[in-house]
Chains A and B, each alone.
Chain A
Amino acid sequence: MSNNPHPIEKLAALLGGSNAQPVIIPSRLAPSAIYDVDYRTAIIALVFEAFSKPIGVGPERRISAAKLKLLQFVAIRPWLLPAIREWSEGLAQGSLDLIHSVRIRRGFISDTAHEDVMNVLVASGIFVRDGSHVVTSERANYLHEVASSTTQNGLFENERKMISLLASVRITNNMLEGW
């Protein structure tokens, strides 16, 4: 049973006995950054810059699609770092709903917003899908520009710090399997 003292009712009673004027501005509802394409693109660009590997001698680079999805998921959720470390170092997969690995896996696998942004980036000629990997395409320079510009302008400092911390976490095949 909740012990919440219902502060909204208390507030309404206080305001009701006053001559305060209501102000309602629906446009001020701040949407979550999670659904902001520009923000998500910048994070993908930063993660890709940090973790992708060159293919042969050409300019192309690639990364496992699952790894990219997991890393960007954690990059925007810094509080998950201890959990992902534990998952990386742990052997047991544990059960269903309680163990970190299962909860994070469930979270990043169902991160459909990431897939939406990836679809846009593929359609824009920035990435191509190559089996389980994503590879840079003819307009990949855009991604590099986004990552550089983000860093140069000091944007998303927490996320960039998180990405550098993630370099010390071993992303095992086990973590990326089964989805």
Chain B
Amino acid sequence: MPRRLWGLPAYYFGLLALLYLPLFVLLVFAFNDGTILAFPMRGFTLRWFEQLFATEALMRALRNSVAVAVGSGTIAVVLGACGAIAFVRFRFRGKGTFMTVALLPLYVPFVVVGVSLLLLFSVIGLPRSLLTIAAAHTVVSFPYALLILTARLVGFDPHLEEAAMSLGANYWETLRRVILPLIAPALLAAWLTAFTVSFDEFAIANLLAGAEPTLPVYLYSQLRMSARLPLVIAMAGLVMVLTLSIFFTLVWLRRFVFRVPAAGTVRAR
């Protein structure tokens, strides 16, 4: 083995410190008793967290975001499962085209996806709303769902399906009682990934939001009002807890789904 390089661990932990510094600062200010986000600090308080739950607009934005993320995540996973099974288990013409189109959102800048959908909805006369945001989010989280599920399906033996069918199960029964349970961890991983893609997404939501904002859209509108910032930061703390619990679930699931460490926790943008 080559000699030890002390520089590498130092570099790793240095980078880690830089990555965690802003999170630490946010947490500190969430408990700071003052509306001005600057040093010196004022003292410890929990009042931002109390006000948080009393701020109707904020809670509403949070509910909107959860609804959009649950809805778009569910649709993306159902469609992704259909697509992945078709892709892995069937041979058909246009297979390559299907995959290319499905993965396109990974390659198209979000601003282009956003304005093209804005155009679509204005052409068909659908006003901007949470529904239009959710539709957009299904498209951008679909590639993740499809890839996660495809990876899982490739990994198990098609003879299991044949066995089930030769024992008298019809195809849809086999899907429901053999394939779906086998890919259940991947379904959950795909759903959680899609959920967070949507939950955190701002660039598209900002273009497609109507009167009802999602949480990132609301947070963005509040960034200019300094009196509201401590509240927003307290909110950030809560959201952190939510997304981190999702993340750790994914890490835990990963052991059932993937061989390469941390694959399946990849999420662009």
Whether chain B is bound by chain A comes out as no
Residues of A within 8 A of B (CB): none
B interface list, Cβ under 8 A from A: none
